[in-house]
Amino acid sequence: MAKHIFVTGGVASSLGKGLTASSLGRLLKCRGLRVSIQKLDPYINVDPGTMNPFEHGEVFVTEDGGETDLDLGHYERFIDENLSRDSNATTGSIYQTVLAAERRGDFLGRTVQVIPHITDEIKRRITRLAADDVDVVITEVGGTVGDIEILPFLEAIRQFRNDIGRNNVCYVHVTLVPFIGPSGEQKTKPTQHSVTELRSRGIQPDAIVCRSEAPVPDSLKAKISNLSDVPLQGVVNAVDAKHLYEIPLMLHDEGLDDEVCRILGLPGEADLSAWQALVARVDASTRPVRIGVIGKYVSLPDAYLSVAEALRHAGYHHGAAVDVDWIQAEDVEGLLADGRLRDLDGIVIPGGFGERGIAGKVAAAGYARDHDIPCLGLCLGMQVMTVEFARNVLGLTGANSSEFDPRSPHKVIDLMDAQREVVDMGGTMRLGVYPATLVPGSKVAAAYGRELVYERHRHRYEFNPRYRSRFEGSGFVCSGVSPDNRLVEFIELDDHPFWVGTQAHPEFKSRPDRPAPLFRELIGAALERADGRRPRLPQLDAVALGGT
């Protein structure tokens, strides 16, 4: 039987429950255990797919096409497992399932209530991840203890310990230990109140993770232990880290995985050598490289969380410290005059929906093409690169995507014939993993090191195949296509250092120790540009060096 760990949060949001769950998952994997992770989200939306990126951040796409919370990206990057749509459940999806069952008559006319019907469905969502090939399921409960919307989730996980046995469940609670400047002290009262609120719901935490800016002294840990009825070894401190990938080592040093394994009776010792080597590589990545991200939602960088992480992963591979310059797409045309784009070592044009900022994205793609700046276009980014090339190289006046100009005389990006040619678009979107065959000898094939690849997608519009012959032969290469040769998946220029676009979202499959190939090659090309632009140090003569 799989063991279950539930991670809850108190005091304030954005304390790092997702990173705590991810880090704990990595530590358990380092013990040889098979781990899966899921997120229970209290919002009533069925999934994040239609939510505003300014409010919710990135929509992370799983292999099977699930549109999920961005925390699943952290989970995958830390435990290095491909999760599924089953790893994200929302209040909306749970109520939708229960109401559909009521309409079918599954409850035989009984009154449908939060307890037991909603809580039973929550428990079913938790249990479905406990497959035969999983030793531990970690479940993060979104929101903060005290929020009215998470009460059904707390009740469900309270019942769950009784359902499967007390020795099979561990509760980890993440709280804040703030520093109060005028008094010069760290305060435990918020943690005390948070634990009291959790216990009032029938859940006694087994471990408490105290988030803080500075280390929490042993005396305060002892105070928290006494007042929350948690053993001293179960009170651990998560101090602000230099970077995300340091967190598992910090939590291990605090003994969190040892305590969780003691409670659950899990065997093994953690072999952290590979993760320690990764952290050492991250710490040693100091070569500066500046990458501009031309986005529509840059005021909330979480909207491009996987893009930023993929850039950093590629930097670690090259020993580079990536400085991400967030550039609002609507401002690009004005920035061209002041040289801000000229000073970049590379450019990423990420995905998105809607017309706002498209002119700026097109201008950035053209500037990168004209000035040999390495550029990677993702999904919408590939589409605006195509539009830019059509207008300014092929001379197709008014070329555009039908998403932005349905009356364009040259819809180089379009829905396939009557929106029907693309197989299984998941409504009107192509979601999840799809294969592509790569052109031998192309930059893309060289990056991947093979000619059949699988990447995740989330889009409606495609490269219009009616224009393919006009593009090919002009230096523009359709370097990856669907196996049936109908859909263009990758594009590139053959006379440019790196001007590559993909209809996919390779950022979703990037890992800190295995960067996405296109991001890796982008950073490599950007470093070459950076090295060429840096002033060379004057050469010292042999006498100065001690020679003869």
Residues labelled as active-site residues: 379, 505, 507
Read off the DSSP letter of residue 242. S
Task: Determine the 3-state secondary structure of 143 from DSSP.
Answer: coil
* Rounded distance between C-alpha atoms, residue 510 and residue 208, angstroms: 31
Of 19, 49, 53, nearest in space to 350 by CA? 53
Element (H, E) at 31: none
* Rounded distance between C-alpha atoms, residue 323 and residue 321, angstroms: 6
Counts for the chain of helices (H) and strands (E), in that order: 18, 23
Q: Name the E strands within 483-536.
A: 488-493, 499-502
Within a 13 Å sphere around the CA of 109, how many CA atoms are in the beta-carbon half? 0
> Degrees (nearest 5) of the Cα angle 86, 88, 90?
120
- Asked whether 106 and 65 are in contact (CB, 8 A), the reply is no
Q: What is the DSSP string of 160-194?
A: HHHHH-GGGEEEEEEEE--EETTTTEE--HHHHHH
Which residues sit opposite 493 in a β-bridge?
Answer: 476
Helices 119-127 + 151-164 axis angle, to 10? 60
Pairing of strands 320-328, 375-378: unpaired
* Tokens standing for residue 302: 């979480």
* Rounded distance between C-alpha atoms, residue 63 and residue 455, angstroms: 8
Q: Name the E strands within 379-446.
A: 400-401, 411-414, 430-438
Within a 13 Å sphere around the CA of 485, how many CA atoms are in the beta-carbon half? 2
Cα radius of gyration rounded to whole Å, the chain:
26
Which residues sit opposite 38 in a β-bridge?
Answer: 139
* Rounded distance between C-alpha atoms, residue 295 and residue 352, angstroms: 8
Backbone angles phi, psi at 532, to 5 degrees: -70, -25
Residue 226 CB partners (closer than 8 Å, separation 6+) = none
